[in-house]
Amino acid sequence: MTKLNKNDLEHFKSLINEEREKLLDKLGYLRETAMETTVKDASGDHSSYSFHMADQGTDAQEREKAFLFASREMQYLERLELALKRIKEGTFGICVKCRKSIARERLEAVPIATMCYTCKTKQK
């Protein structure tokens, strides 16, 4: 496996930034949805909620799922930011375990990868 050149790094930087922008849009939507619900709850306006107990449970579950998704997306955003940092530092595409190059195919599939396939499969 060969080390990534400047063009490769620019490609991955662009790929990561695209993914980051999509994620920020998604997080904005989730935040707006959660805030809309929270503001209605705080104001006592429950007109968007059903009055049937089962429907209220479903609504609460949907809000909880939205918060869970937002949390997961924030973790992914953090990993994207770390990948961009590794590009700046010159360590992107180098396995943190064995210090060998990570295959380009793996980075295309998982641009936040920090380990080569061999080290990742050994990890438990």
Contact 106, 91 (CB under 8 A): no
Percent pLDDT > 70 in the chain is: 74
Who has greater pLDDT, 39 or 115?
115
**Is there a contact between 101 and 4 (Cβ–Cβ < 8 Å)?**
yes
Q: What is the pLDDT of residues 34-52, one digit of tens each?
A: 666 554 554 455 555 556 6
CB-CB neighbours of 23 under 10 Å: 15
All residues at 6 or more sequence positions from 63 whose CB lies less than 8 Å from its CB, including other chains? 34, 37
| 81-94 pLDDT per residue, tens | 999 999 999 999 99
Which of the four pLDDT bands, split at 50, 70 and 90, describes residue 63?
confident
Question: 84 to each of 11, 35, 51, 87, how far by Cα in Å?
Answer: 12, 30, 47, 5
Measure the CA–CA gap between 118 and 57, rounded to whole angstroms. Answer: 45
Structural domains of the chain ordered from first start: 6-122 (1.20.120.910)
The residues pairing with 101 across neighbouring beta strands, listed in sequence order, are 94
The band of 28, judged by pLDDT with boundaries at 50, 70 and 90, is confident
> Position 15: which residue type?
L
H-assigned helices in the chain: 6-43, 53-89, 104-109, 117-122
